[in-house]
Amino acid sequence: NTIGLIQPCLFTVFPNAKICIGDNVGISGSTLRSTISITIGNNVMIGSGCLITDTDDHPLDARQRQEENFYKNTVSSPVVIYDDVFIGARSIILKGVTIGQGAVIGAGSIVTKDVAPHTIVAGNPAKEIKVISD
């Protein structure tokens, strides 16, 4: 990847969680962190430095973060990325998001909500820019 790899690929899978990756998927120096599940379809391209996570990783309540096993109070929800999706470099896909077939995520975007099929989104938070037509 000529944009530059800022890190190796890192997959963190908690006990009883899963990461399922389809055929012909390209991942450039990105992090996938699963406490429940991350599912990636076929022919997906994930740019350099992306983060895909199905969990908040820490509770929002400061008192809960002080507890010894604070992670038990985190919120998690599966991530699903359908076929033919392109995720631009340095994007972040957060818990509970579904990205529809053929969607494009602009570089540096933070995706907090579902993305419709064949739609371009970008920004922080990611918003619809355009529907891709045939």
**Considering 42, 56, 58, 75, which one is annotated as catalytic?**
58
Question: Is 58 a catalytic site residue?
Answer: yes
Residues 129 and 23: their CA atoms lie apart, in Å, by: 28
| Strand 18-21, strand 98-99: pairing | unpaired
CB-CB contact of 93 with 99 (8 Å): yes
Q: Where are the alpha helices (DSSP H) in 25-103?
A: 62-65
Q: Which residues are catalytic?
A: 58
